[in-house]
Amino acid sequence: MRNAFIKSVGAYAPARIIKNEFFNELLGEDVDTWLRENLTIRERRWTAEGESTVSLSLNAAKQAMERAELSPDKIDLIIIATDTPEFISPSTASVLQHELGAVNAGTFDVNTACAGFVTALDIASKFIRSDEIYENILVIGAYNMSKYLNMNDKKTVTLFADGAGAAIVSPSNDEERGYKFSRLYTEGQYNSWMGIYAGGTNQPITKEVIDNNDHLLKFVKKFPKELNPTIWTKMINEACEKLNWKPSEINHFFMTQININSIWETLDNLGVDRLKGHTIMDRFGYTGSACIPMALNDAFEKGKMKKGDKIIFIGSGGGLAFACSAFIW
């Protein structure tokens, strides 16, 4: 059976480094100590003026395509997962298609917030498995949340950052390589707890909205801290049961990286070494839909990815949306 596998990966983070000490001055208190001790975050990257979600995506895409030895005309479909789009309309993917010169590619965006990349990876895999027209699909998780931060809001401004990660998904006839399982799940009752709530049809942008900072990212309510570890553990166990895998047999876990303790608790629940959860948040902060492909790229560049490795991707984001996928490298 024709299966989908990850042919190559790439990533990009903007050059502008924002260290924790920046927020000590900005907020007039020591937030550096808390960020290091509780989240491992030391610094993050923010876009400069003139940089946008498309410019982040373009750089990540070029690296993935170069590694796959693909020219732009060989890309059949572009899927961008983001909740910080270039425009409300048209799609960010259509802008990237033009910038990249991918003249034969169809395009669309996916917004399941920070679960977006895993959701898009699921979609791309099923396109490849079901339709022979598609040979190379470019999947990108991109995040430019610095453009939506309230600089006086300690709960958000210290965490969120910018970046993009890319993967080329292509067909394989090797049943022991590539896509194995996916599951999407949502706890929609949390949709009003965190997000960017102005700018759509529910609350159009007005002067009053801007004056109240309602067009920026907001944590409205604090999520139960057990939510991610509980659901992640359940979804990973479901994947293992379906595939007849033991958690201890999985080589790499790539998870949403907003809270290091949620990652560690999940791995502890599964009874696996915490080092199997590859993280980059110490250097890049929280990059939303980009964090999982950026972590995958980092592991690849460090030589950690070996053919035959078993991988679990699990993302969660505002909505609350969850996505879990299992692959063999």
Of the candidates 19, 315, 20, the one whose C-alpha atom is nearest the C-alpha of residue 183 is 315
DSSP percent split of the chain into helix, strand, coil, nearest 5: 40, 25, 35
221 confidence band (pLDDT: 50, 70, 90): confident
Q: Indicate if 159 and 201 belong to the same structural domain.
A: no
Q: Indicate if 233 and 106 belong to the same structural domain.
A: no
As a whole number, mean pLDDT of residues 175-183 equals 93
| pLDDT surpasses 90 at 214 | no
Measured CA to CA, the distance from residue 57 to residue 162 in angstroms comes to 11
Q: Describe the crossing of helices 260-270 and 227-243 by its angle, rounded to 10 degrees.
A: 40
Neighbours of 315 (CB within 10 A): 30
Decide which of 144, 174, 204 is a domain's last residue: 174
Measured CA to CA, the distance from residue 260 to residue 277 in angstroms comes to 10
The answer to pTM > 0.85 is: yes
| pLDDT surpasses 90 at 212 | no
Range of the structural domain that residue 185 is part of: 179-328
As a whole number, mean pLDDT of residues 69-90 equals 97
User: Comparing 16-20, 154-158, 240-244, 297-301, which segment has the lowest mean pLDDT?
Assistant: 154-158
As a whole number, mean pLDDT of residues 209-224 equals 86
82 confidence band (pLDDT: 50, 70, 90): very high
Of all residues in the chain, the percent with pLDDT exceeding 90 is 87
Q: Indicate if 160 and 242 belong to the same structural domain.
A: no
H-type helices in the chain, by residue range?
20-27, 32-34, 53-68, 92-100, 116-130, 154-157, 207-211, 227-243, 260-270, 281-284, 291-301
Q: Indicate if 152 and 20 belong to the same structural domain.
A: yes
Q: Indicate if 186 and 294 belong to the same structural domain.
A: yes
Q: What is the mean pLDDT of the chain?
A: 95
Pairing of the two strands 77-81 and 137-144:
parallel
| pLDDT surpasses 90 at 89 | yes
Greatest CA separation for the chain: 60
pLDDT value of position 222: 85
As a whole number, mean pLDDT of residues 288-305 equals 97
pLDDT value of position 211: 87
Q: Indicate if 264 and 319 belong to the same structural domain.
A: yes
| pLDDT surpasses 90 at 296 | yes
Q: Indicate if 195 and 221 belong to the same structural domain.
A: yes
Q: Indicate if 312 and 202 belong to the same structural domain.
A: yes
Q: Residue written as tokens 């790229």?
A: 297
**CB-based contacts of 143, cutoff 8 Å, min separation 6:** 53, 56, 82, 83, 84, 161, 162, 163, 164, 287, 288, 289, 290, 291
| pLDDT surpasses 90 at 64 | yes
| pLDDT surpasses 90 at 133 | yes
pLDDT value of position 142: 98
Q: Indicate if 44 and 79 belong to the same structural domain.
A: yes
224 confidence band (pLDDT: 50, 70, 90): confident
Measured CA to CA, the distance from residue 253 to residue 293 in angstroms comes to 12
C-beta separation of 41 from 282 below 8 A = yes
Virtual CA dihedral for 110, 113, 118, 124, nearest 10 degrees?
0
**Backbone phi, psi, residue 172, to 5°:** -145, 145
Q: Indicate if 163 and 211 belong to the same structural domain.
A: no
Instruction: Take residue 131 and report the two structure tokens written for it.
Output: 């339709």
Q: Indicate if 234 and 99 belong to the same structural domain.
A: no
Of all residues in the chain, the percent with pLDDT exceeding 70 is 100
Query: Residue 287 corresponds to which amino acid?
Result: T
Determine the 3-state secondary structure of 300 from DSSP: helix
C-beta separation of 159 from 40 below 8 A = no
Q: Residue 16's beta-bridge partner residues? A: 46
* Domains held by the chain: number: 2
pLDDT value of position 175: 81
| pLDDT surpasses 90 at 223 | no
Decide which of 174, 201, 220 is a domain's last residue: 174
As a whole number, mean pLDDT of residues 107-131 equals 96
Of the candidates 112, 73, 30, the one whose C-alpha atom is nearest the C-alpha of residue 292 is 112
C-beta separation of 88 from 146 below 8 A = no
* pLDDT digits 0-9 by tens, 152-162: 998 899 999 99
**Backbone phi, psi, residue 12, to 5°:** -155, 135
Decide which of 132, 151, 174 is a domain's last residue: 174
pLDDT value of position 219: 80
* pLDDT digits 0-9 by tens, 312-322: 999 999 889 99
